[in-house]
Structure 1
Amino acid sequence: MSSPVQSKIEADLPAAATKQGMLDRKELSAFAFQRTRMPMVVSDARQDDYPIVLANDTFLNLTGYTAEDILGKNCRILQGEATSRTAVAQIGAAIAQQRDLTIEILNYKKDGTPFWNQLHASSIHDELGELANYFASQVDVTDYRRIQTLEEAEHRLLLEVDHRKKNVLAVVDSIVRLSKSDNAESYAASVQQRVQALSRTHMLLAEKGWQEVELSEIVRTQVEVFGSSAIEINGPLVMVPASAAQPLGLAIHELAANAAVHGALARRQGRLQISWLPNDTGLTLMWHEVGGTDLRGEPARGFGNVLLSAVVEKQLGGHITRHWRDDGLSLVIELPSLNRVGRAMRSQP
């Protein structure tokens, strides 16, 4: 059955064609939007909370919602219990910066059935260059992900990493053992986010021939997926050896994900400052969140992360000190291991 939007478009097509001799570009675009086999929605960026104003029939068929169910609602209507809050934070950062985004996220149909959604979102600007709408397309990749079991993903990862670096295997083992969740879907999502973080550092190492990588590159690679406008990164040149790069990258990811879900990056006015200093005993990394408070003015305490502690303390031989302040959270991470393994660190002002 045609939707009200589709019926109106099709009714207007003959008149438009007779009057103009060709289809009006906007009407043709609307007709193509409605008839395409890819699920699509458009939200109004000029209204609060970006409500959905258009949805094609393919989207309605995929999700089980009717037009009346979703028009005027935010796309978060598709989120549910096991939806990754880290993925949600990345989507929010992309929308705030008006940049395109493609990401896989666990969504839910109207009847509660979960499905893996390969979401692509893109901003639409008017003739004056002002943000007018957001366009989003969806691809159901549930069946594809079922084929890619967790064991297969681990196997592929182990083939990709340098087998000479035993520390990398320890990081993968930590990810699998220490990721916690109440159900299989959210467990798979949390493992996927961390494996992706590991992969980002792996790509840096591959580009450098598995030698040393600048600490600033490791930090930026992990934090900028959550947005860069609210993040300040400062520190001298520090070269991190391959044996420490991936666990350090995973630790930075855990901190950034926590800030995006619970801390400063989850607040409109929040800011994150990251800096480091080499010293005689190793490296000191400072992590300071400003504005990471809840509505009562209390610090948003989302830490206590077992994986973070295991990576920093057991694999890097470091120590974390947390300071809860009125305006947010400060952490000091001491990493003496970066000064103990041969030429583990080289720095200059």
Structure 2
Amino acid sequence: MSNGSERGPPIVSLSAAFAASPSPMLVADARAPDHPILWANDAFLRQTGYPADEVLGRNCRFLQGPDTDRSSVEEIRQAIAAGRAVSVELLNYRKDGTPFWNSFTLTPVNDEQGLAFFVGAQVDTTLAHTNAERTIALGTALDRKTAMIHEIDHRAKNNLQVISSLLLLKARRTVGGETREALEGMAERIGALSVAHRLLCAGEDGSHFELTEFVSELVSEFEAGMADDRVRIDSDVDTVTLPASMAAPLALMLHELVANALRHAFPGGRHGRISIFAKRAEVGLSIAISDDGIGFDVAAQNETGFGRSLVEMVSRQLRGTVRWLPMGSGTRVEIAIPLRVA
């Protein structure tokens, strides 16, 4: 006499469980022509919107419609012909014509004589498909927006280069004096802005830039424009990621300070060094530009000068502070800029 563990599952209980299952299920006759549906649970009827009398006796292809993928249908047909299980995702249609994505699994069931039934289970994946389509659409829109921003930055950079070239051309045709110096200075400042745009265009998203690379690029521009190597430019810069909105003000500020040092700190062929220091600090970003040149009277106001006013104006724009410090030999300018916590 066998014990209970050797007995098969209670068929009536399994049938009741399938009928009460929240997952849409059906059973099709594997031996009858066209494999008609013999049974479908209430969840299947609710999902498809068909009453039982319009489901039983039909092949489940009645759920297919104009946009149902024919390759998925062919995959099901081949699995049925071979008597093997298959899982596909295809677009089906409810009785009212509403489409829904259906993750469909078909499993063959054998009896003593061989293949007898196909058991089908369905999962409505419409929401997942809708979310995926929205994600793809948003990604496409973001890619287009990023490409547009890069294109705008690229055009802005080119326009700045053209303006700088025009100012330099005008300066060369202007008799020496304050007007020529002003034109040359403006051309150089616009060139610094062009460098900032070039770095932003080269970035992955154009919304941030690396300070180390930024300073290195500006130094390279200065070195390329120097007639000799009597003045050396050194830099000690932390790797800090900054928002793109800071690129133009920083470019103007750093350019102005280094350009002024090159122009005024080393007269008469004097040799020297300019140092650029930028570190992450408690205040946010600490920047110092120093030189070992002849220095200047930081208390004196140059009525015709523009560079100092520009540096202080840009510093205020960044909500920072500037200190002009005389040294035993040369000048040091310290700038503190608060940074937003990301």
Same fold (TM over 0.5): no
Query: Bigger radius of gyration, 1 or 2?
Result: 2
Higher relative contact order by CA 8 Å / sep ≥ 6: 1 or 2?
Answer: 1
Query: What interval of TM-score do these two structures reach, taking the shorter chain for normalisation?
Result: 0.3 to 0.5
